[in-house]
Amino acid sequence: KAGVTQTPRYLIKTRGQQVTLSCSPISGHRSVSWYQQTPGQGLQFLFEYFSETQRNKGNFPGRFSGRQFSNSRSEMNVSTLELGDSALYLCASSLEGLAFSYEQYFGPGTRLTVT
């Protein structure tokens, strides 16, 4: 069974631009969660999508948004990029979400650099 895939793996953007990252979960998984990893803050939860609906949200500004498609693939978007948005963005998939199972599988991440 194929794992979680994220595209692109690396991205360089300029401050003020917007960016879209993509995540394809493991086949059959309906929940996708997004996390931001930075050296200073560690891993921080962004949001979770389940069956095309946002089910949970972390403490990030509205510039961070996401969506999920009917095939469970998910995208996250960051608008008006700031230097502090430079981070590794990880997505994780699970069958039904953390409320029902503690098993979630992470993708390799997208490394975003904002200059």
Partner 1 sequence: DQQVKQNSPSLSVQEGRISILNCDYTNSMFDYFLWYKKYPAEGPTFLISISSIKDKNEDGRFTVFLNKSAKHLSLHIVPSQPGDSAVYFCAAMPTGANSKLTFGKGITLSVRP
On whether the CB atoms of residues 20 and 91 are closer than 8 A, the answer is no
Question: In terms of CB distance, is 14 or 42 closer to partner 1?
Answer: 42
Question: In terms of CB distance, is 72 or 104 closer to partner 1?
Answer: 104
Taking the complex as a whole, how short is the minimal distance between the CB of residue 109 and partner 1, in angstroms? 6
Closest listed residue to residue 98, CA positions, set 52, 23, 42, 30: 30
**Residue 84 DSSP one-character state:** G
99 interacts with partner 1 by CB under 8 A: yes
| Secondary structure of residue 9 in the 3-state scheme | coil
Cβ partners under 8 Å of residue 90, min gap 6: 6, 34, 35, 36, 37, 43, 106, 107, 109
| Tokens matching residue 82 | 């700031």
Question: In terms of CB distance, is 91 or 114 closer to partner 1?
Answer: 91
Q: Which residues from 25-84 bind partner 1, rule CB under 8 A?
A: 33, 35, 40-45, 48, 55-56, 58
113 interacts with partner 1 by CB under 8 A: no
Question: In terms of CB distance, is 83 or 102 closer to partner 1?
Answer: 102
98 interacts with partner 1 by CB under 8 A: yes
| Secondary structure of residue 101 in the 3-state scheme | coil
Applying CB under 8 A, which residues contact partner 1? 4, 33, 35, 40-45, 48, 55-56, 58, 90, 92, 97-99, 102-109
